[in-house]
């Protein structure tokens, strides 16, 4: 009879122990809250929201500090590029759980994070090494380094080429204009003299009576011929002088060529400018 009671008592004791454990777990609100936070953190981690996952894993560990959460926190830091923090939490995970089944993986992640941390620190130190040292106070002496590093003095601005006085150009153009007018007058006088000479020649050829008008035409023709010659010569000289003055007064970047060519009625002047 005693054996039967003992056999019946054992299942009741096991059931009571399980019930006590379940009630103890249900009575720990920190564990339940940590489980809720861990579940939310896993969802954020899976969709790549590592900042949110890190906050949730950290809150879960603060409520229920289990070493497994340190691994999850280290993973979030590693994926966010916080390699120094990642190494710190991976080391904490292995300290809290030295016989962790994923220890080889954790050690590999620690080594990779350390390498990337060293690269970051080297890159941050490189610009500081490239920064030139501050200049030392001057003692009044110039060192060879200062001579080589001294900036070259600015080159003086070249003075603009001074152009000839424009009065020469104006005077040349005016003189050439006067010469052209004189030669034009000479052409007119020559034509008038030629016309009178034709009239006189016609009277002479016809053996007509020489009249006072014919004498007047003859004298006028001689005067016109003389005036034409004077005007030709004077106009040519004026044109030549005007050409010379214009050439002297013309800007040096330009060239002017003057040419005087004889014509049946007198002379012509050609001015050629080359820019």
| Extents of the domains making up the chain | 29-124, 166-274
pLDDT band at 38 (very low <50, low <70, confident <90, very high): very high
Percent of the chain that is helix, strand, coil (3-state, to 5): 70, 5, 20
Residue with more model confidence, 136 or 200:
200
Domain 29-124 has CATH 2.80.10.50: no
pTM metric for this prediction: 0.41
Lowest-pLDDT range of 25-29, 110-114, 154-158: 154-158
Rounded to the nearest integer, the mean pLDDT of the chain is 74
Q: What is the CA radius of gyration of the chain?
A: 59
Nearest to 248, CA basis, from 161, 172, 143? 172
Lowest-pLDDT range of 4-18, 118-132, 157-171: 4-18
Give the model's pLDDT for residue 93.
95
Flag whether pLDDT at 113 surpasses 60: yes
pLDDT band at 236 (very low <50, low <70, confident <90, very high): confident
Output the six-digit token pair for 246: 């214009």
Give 53's contacts (C-beta < 8 A, 6+ positions apart). Answer: 41, 42, 44, 45, 72, 76
Give the model's pLDDT for residue 127.
72
Flag whether pLDDT at 180 surpasses 60: yes
Instruction: Give the number of other Cβ atoms within 10 Å of residue 247's Cβ.
Output: 19
Flag whether pLDDT at 111 surpasses 80: yes
pLDDT band at 98 (very low <50, low <70, confident <90, very high): very high
Give the model's pLDDT for residue 18.
44
Flag whether pLDDT at 250 surpasses 50: yes
Flag whether pLDDT at 81 surpasses 80: yes
Give the model's pLDDT for residue 10.
34
**Long-range pairs, 40-47, Cβ under 8 A, ≥24:** 41/72, 45/72, 45/75, 45/76
Flag whether pLDDT at 148 surpasses 60: no
Distances (CA, A) of 210 to 37, 98, 192, 217: 146, 155, 20, 11
Give the model's pLDDT for residue 95.
95
Distances (CA, A) of 116 to 45, 86, 89, 90, 105: 22, 11, 16, 15, 17
Give the model's pLDDT for residue 13.
33
């Amino acid at each position: 009879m005693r054996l039967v009671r003992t056999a019946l008592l054992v299942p009741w004791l096991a059931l009571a122990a399980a019930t006590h454990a379940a009630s103890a777990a249900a009575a720990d609100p920190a564990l339940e809250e940590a489980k809720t936070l861990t579940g939310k953190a896993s969802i954020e981690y899976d969709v790549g929201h590592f900042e949110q996952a890190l906050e949730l894993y950290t809150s879960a560990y603060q409520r229920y500090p289990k070493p497994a959460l340190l691994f999850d926190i280290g993973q979030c830091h590693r994926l966010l590029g916080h390699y120094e923090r990642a190494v710190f939490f991976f080391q904490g995970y292995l300290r809290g759980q030295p016989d962790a089944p994923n220890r080889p993986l954790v050690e590999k992640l620690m080594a990779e994070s350390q390498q990337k941390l060293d690269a970051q620190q080297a890159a941050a130190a490189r610009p500081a090494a490239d920064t030139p040292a501050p200049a030392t106070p001057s003692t009044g002496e110039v060192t060879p380094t200062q001579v080589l590093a001294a900036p070259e003095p600015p080159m003086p601005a070249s003075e603009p080429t001074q152009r000839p006085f424009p009065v020469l150009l104006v005077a040349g153009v005016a003189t050439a204009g006067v010469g052209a007018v004189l030669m034009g007058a000479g052409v007119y006088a020559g034509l008038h003299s030629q016309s009178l000479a034709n009239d006189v020649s016609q009277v002479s050829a016809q053996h007509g009576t020489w009249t006072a008008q014919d004498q007047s035409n003859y004298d006028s023709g001689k005067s016109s011929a003389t005036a034409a010659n004077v005007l030709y010569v004077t106009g040519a000289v004026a044109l030549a002088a005007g050409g010379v003055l214009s050439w002297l007064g013309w800007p040096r970047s330009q060239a002017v060529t003057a040419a005087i060519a004889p014509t049946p009625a007198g002379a012509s002047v050609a001015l050629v400018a080359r820019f």
